[in-house]
Amino acid sequence: MTGFAYRDGEMHAEGVALSRIAREVGTPVYVYSSAMLRANYRAFADAMKGLDAEVHYAVKANSNLAVIRTFARLGAGADIVSEGEMRRALAAGVPADRIVFSGVGKKVSELRAALEVGIRQINVESRHELDMLDGVAGAMGKRTDIAIRINPDVDPNTHAKITTGKKGNKFGIDIDLAREAFAYAAGKPNLNVLGVAIHIGSQITDMEPYRHAIRRVREFVGQLRADGLDITRFDVGGGLGITYRNETPVPIDAFVGMVRQETGNMGCALSFEPGRRLVGDAGVLLGEVILVKPGVARTFVIVDAAMNDLIRPTLYEAWHDIVPARQPAANAEEIVTDIVGPICESGDFLAQKRTMTPLAAGDLVVVKSAGAYGAVMSSTYNTRPLVPETLVDGDRYAVVRPRQTYEQLIGADRVPAWLE
């Protein structure tokens, strides 16, 4: 399904015209569809029926409280990578015992905070972290459940900057060294070694790398059990891709079916950690054309949404479909243009050499599939206030993060006494 479609010539989010949100909230602005969030989650829930499995939503994809709460009310837990994300998940209503703490560089203070609230599991990524966590838990008089994240050295065939399961990536413990790490962890008095975790990358559109990684883990778990370890949990990770341009995403039921088949005799409870697949196509970035600037080499459409609002095109060379909020005529002419922002960087673009119908100052543009790694990666570069976020539910909407004011932005700075 899609929560965004033209109605009577105007793009809507469910039952709300995007022009109404632009008029009442201003631009740029993120718009999320509750119906799509729910549909995406239910696709996972339906596919998992009969499995001993849970969904832990990867908060890093979109950490807005309203988004997390939408999933929490459907039964999702949370996969977090920082104390801040843990606090967001708790504030959104995710029970502590349904939170999994991943991440390659946890601080002592973060581990302590996680143990204080009693989260479900900590996914440890290094021998040093095993020592840290054992020390923190011992000082608190606690014994904590852990999984160890291994690096299975599998190429997920995705962008180099979002590959996480190959040798040379910073994540996890190399599978060739992991057996020793598990034995070391088993000797720690304050750690309960229950599981194995993997995460091989993001925007994955091919099941075979996942299948290969799971088979490597299955064999590895057999070795651990031969060593006397009682491994009862397998954190499969996330990373399933969506359609940005011409990708063909793996159907959720097919993916879960493959996992069901490959793990059927492992005797492990499973954890899935989808992020992008739950929120990516459930959000758009809405911007307004400031001016159109013809040039000798190309025409620039300058909009008020910029790289500080959506950095994916600049950072990952990512493609996002961009359409006008008002539906063009079927036979409308088209031109090739760059859609850029007002940031003082040549890398500030949303699209390059894009074929579109001509735009004019005041027109609204819709940047599609911007629900993941959009607002959550935004910044205040060029002293531009953080973009607001809105959530639509049927024919109603709410502002779920107000636009930052200049007073709030500048007021966060402190001038030292010697400059007063």
List the catalytic residues.
344
Q: Rounded to whole angstroms, how far apart are CA atoms 165 and 237?
A: 11
Write the CB contacts of 34 (distance below 8 Å, at least 6 apart in sequence).
3, 14, 70, 391, 392, 393, 394
> Residue 336 has which token pair?
């090739």
The rounded distance, in Å, linking the Cα atoms of 303 and 351 is: 11
Number of residues that this document lists for the chain? 420
Q: Of 116, 89, 112, which is closest to residue 100 (Cα–Cα)?
A: 89
The half-sphere exposure of 49 on its side-chain side, counting CA atoms within 13 A, is 5
What count of other Cβ atoms lies within 10 Å of the Cβ of residue 318? 19
Residues 6 or more apart whose Cβ sits within 8 Å of residue 324? 11, 356, 357, 359, 363, 364, 365, 366
Count CA atoms closer than 13 A to 22's CA, side-chain side: 24
